[in-house]
């Protein structure tokens, strides 16, 4: 029986890119799992991150992860790089990937090894090295959102000064480093709010913040507070189930 990967994205370019990476041995489908795409035949659900952090769109991803909790999930997080550098690609954020088969591992390896680089703009190895360093910093944050205690800790891990890190991150990505760091953290915290029964203060402590601080940070990233999301989660789930019925 044919194995499926379900992509939660309307981006045709991403769909074609994944087809090129994974080949014809896996059937890649758009949309939600239904009777047509049986759960038992689905290897992964792949969710796209646009880094805009619309809380309704992000919450839907995690509601679906909770609904289809038996299926390993992947979030494709884009390289956050200024367009002038003409570098496209994504990081693999693997969620719920315990008990993976050899087929699962093979797909993850293919995705992790894939890169789409167009380097015509960067004709200096100095600039290229800086851009690649910033990409490595983004990956470090994505892989370790809660174990990096602060930006100084991050600079020590990567053996660069905090001033170099902050200046070059903004110059290359167009985003302040602290904002990038908090977006990734808040995404993982939102998953815990939606998919677990953990107290908000517990999630805050896991992020390395005091409970009052997480409310302020969520408000800055998602324009809502954690308590608002938690108190409205049942209605959010109902709304999506009605729409997808």
In 52-61, which positions are buried (b, 16+ CB within 10 angstroms) versus exposed (e)?
Answer: ebebeebbbb
Residue (of 194, 193, 95, 184) closest to 144 by Cα position? 184
| Segment 8-14 mean pLDDT | 75
Query: Quick check: 137 and 154 in contact, CB under 8 A?
Result: yes
| Residue with tokens 């049986």, as numbered in its chain | 38
What gap in Å lies between CA 41 and CA 28, rounded to an integer?
12
| Segment 42-68 mean pLDDT | 87
The pLDDT, as a whole number, for residue 182 is 93
Report pTM: 0.84
Tens digits of residue pLDDT in 149-187: 788 888 888 888 999 999 999 999 999 999 999 999 999
Domain boundaries along the sequence of the chain:
4-244
pLDDT band of residue 117 (cuts 50, 70, 90) is very low
Q: What is the DSSP letter of 26?
A: S
Higher model confidence: residue 51 or residue 124? 51
What gap in Å lies between CA 183 and CA 142, rounded to an integer?
10
Topology given in CATH for the domain delimited by 4-244: Arc Repressor Mutant, subunit A (1.10.10)
| Residue with tokens 């050899």, as numbered in its chain | 102
| Residue with tokens 């939102």, as numbered in its chain | 190
Residue 244 pLDDT > 60: no
Higher model confidence: residue 40 or residue 4? 4
Query: Quick check: 14 and 48 in contact, CB under 8 A?
Result: yes
Residue 124 pLDDT > 60: no
Q: What is the mean pLDDT of the chain?
A: 81
In sequence order, what DSSP letters do the residues of 28-48 get, joined into one string? EEES---SSS-GGGEEEEEEE
H helix intervals, the chain? 12-22, 55-67, 102-113, 125-143, 151-158, 162-173, 177-195, 200-207, 211-222, 226-244
What gap in Å lies between CA 2 and CA 224, rounded to an integer?
42
| Segment 131-142 mean pLDDT | 89
Strand partners, 6: 29, 45
């Amino acid at each position: 029986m044919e194995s499926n990967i379900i992509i939660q994205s309307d981006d045709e370019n991403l769909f074609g890119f994944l087809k090129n990476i994974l080949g014809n041995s896996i059937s890649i489908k758009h949309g939600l799992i239904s009777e047509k795409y049986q759960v038992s035949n689905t290897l992964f659900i792949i969710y796209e991150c646009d880094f805009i952090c619309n809380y309704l769109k992000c919450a839907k991803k995690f509601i679906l992860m909770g609904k289809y909790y038996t299926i390993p999930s992947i979030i494709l997080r884009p390289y956050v790089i200024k367009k002038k550098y003409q570098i496209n690609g994504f990081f693999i954020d693997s969620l719920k990937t315990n008990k993976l088969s050899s087929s699962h591992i093979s797909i993850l390896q293919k995705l992790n090894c894939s890169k789409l680089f167009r380097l015509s703009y960067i004709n200096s190895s100095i600039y290229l090295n800086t851009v690649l360093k910033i990409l490595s910093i983004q990956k470090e944050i994505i892989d370790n959102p809660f174990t990096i205690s602060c930006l100084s800790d991050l600079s020590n891990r990567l053996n660069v000064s905090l001033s170099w890190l902050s200046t070059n991150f903004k110059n290359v990505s167009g985003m302040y480093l602290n904002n990038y760091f908090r977006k990734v953290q808040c995404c993982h915290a939102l998953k815990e709010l939606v998919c677990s029964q953990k107290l908000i203060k517990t999630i805050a402590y896991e992020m390395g913040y005091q409970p009052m601080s997480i409310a302020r940070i969520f408000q800055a990233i998602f324009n809502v507070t954690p308590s608002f999301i938690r108190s409205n989660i049942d209605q959010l789930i109902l709304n999506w189930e009605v729409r997808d019925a």
